[in-house]
Amino acid sequence: MNDYDAIAPFYDIEHAHFDEDLDVYMNFAELSGGPLLELACGSGRLLLPLAEAGFEVTGVDNSASMLNLAEQRLQQGSVAARCRLVQQDMCSLHLDQKFRMAFIALGSFGHVITRKEQQQALRAIRNSLVTGGRFILDISNADARYMENLSGQVLHQGTWQQDDGAFVSHFVSPASSTKGHLLELTHFYDVHRQGKAVQRTTGSTRLYLFERGEMELLLEQAGFVVKDVYGNFHLEAFENESPRMIFLAEAAPQ
């Protein structure tokens, strides 16, 4: 089972109102033009508004459960005709068209944890872009690094109410790996109602913590030219303590 299959039912309620990064992708999509490619598209949080804006979009994810949620969302939004969903691992990505822009949102590339897989994924993404095509890569920086010093603790990420009145609480327990640059995260999703037993779903993910220079080198080796690095969704200059590390790169001639 994919790491996200178990927690897919809770993903949307946690991220339902998160749109802080939407303008980043919408604005660069307007500059680039379609078609657009999102890797680790999840439940279609960004695919829907981009399709509603008229862009042809392809979403790739290796979780069947997440893609099922994305399909439902796109059909409900009446934009399924402009969208294609593909179940593939980004490390072995092979698509039958070229794109003018690709992106990976909300730190999802951090779940690619080995150097070989990171290199394979970036090369595959480069090969999916036209020359000069844009690639936007959003990586968690301070947003994730604070957990390095909280190994063994349990952190409350939030509580949300479902349509049926039940509440969902998300807790995460981080553990620093002995290999370094890696966080091992145990997720607890508790569904609870007043006076009723708690129903708990657990899942585990691993998150690689990138350094700026390391990521720049990986991008250049994969055939990209790094144009800028931003520190937040307002596209302000990156600093070491910035919450995000957002790379804007272009596909170099091959």
Residue 149, pLDDT above cutoff 90: no
Mean pLDDT of 209-230: 97
Mean pLDDT of 222-227: 98
Q: Are 159 and 168 in contact (CB under 8 A)?
A: yes
- Between 67 and 6, name the one with better pLDDT: 67
Give domain limits for the chain: 8-142+210-251, 144-208
- Weakest mean pLDDT among 26-30, 120-124, 140-144, 194-198: 140-144
Residue 181, pLDDT above cutoff 60: yes
pLDDT at 254: 86
> How, if at all, do strands 36-39 and 57-61 pair?
parallel
Residue 1, pLDDT above cutoff 70: no
> For residue 2, what pLDDT band results from cuts at 50, 70 and 90?
low
Q: Which residues pair with 171 in a beta bridge?
A: 156, 188
Mean pLDDT of 198-208: 92
Please tell me the distance from the alpha carbon of residue 170 to that of residue 163, in angstroms, as a whole number: 17
**81: DSSP letter:** G
Q: Where are the alpha helices (DSSP H) in the chain?
A: 8-15, 22-32, 47-52, 64-76, 115-127, 142-145, 212-221
Coil, helix or strand for 29? helix
User: Is there a shared CATH topology between the 8-142+210-251 domain and the 144-208 domain?
Assistant: no
Residue 144 φ then ψ, to 5°: -110, -30
**CA-based end-to-end distance of the chain:** 36
**10: DSSP letter:** H
**Could you give the angle at the alpha carbon of 38 between the alpha carbons of 33 and 39, nearest 5°?**
150
Task: Give the whole-number percent of the chain exceeding pLDDT 70.
Answer: 98
Q: Two tokens at 27?
A: 């604005």
The string of pLDDT tens digits covering residues 4-37 is 777 778 887 888 788 999 999 999 999 999 999 9
DSSP letters, 168-187, are EEEEEEEEE-TTSSEEEEEE
Q: Are 50 and 36 in contact (CB under 8 A)?
A: yes
pLDDT at 146: 84
CATH label, 8-142+210-251, candidates 3.40.50.10860, 3.30.450.40, 3.40.50.150, 1.10.10.10: 3.40.50.150
Coil, helix or strand for 125? helix
CATH label, 144-208, candidates 1.10.1060, 3.30.410, 3.30.1400, 2.20.130: 2.20.130
Q: What is the pTM of this model?
A: 0.91
Residue 115, pLDDT above cutoff 80: yes
- Between 4 and 162, name the one with better pLDDT: 162
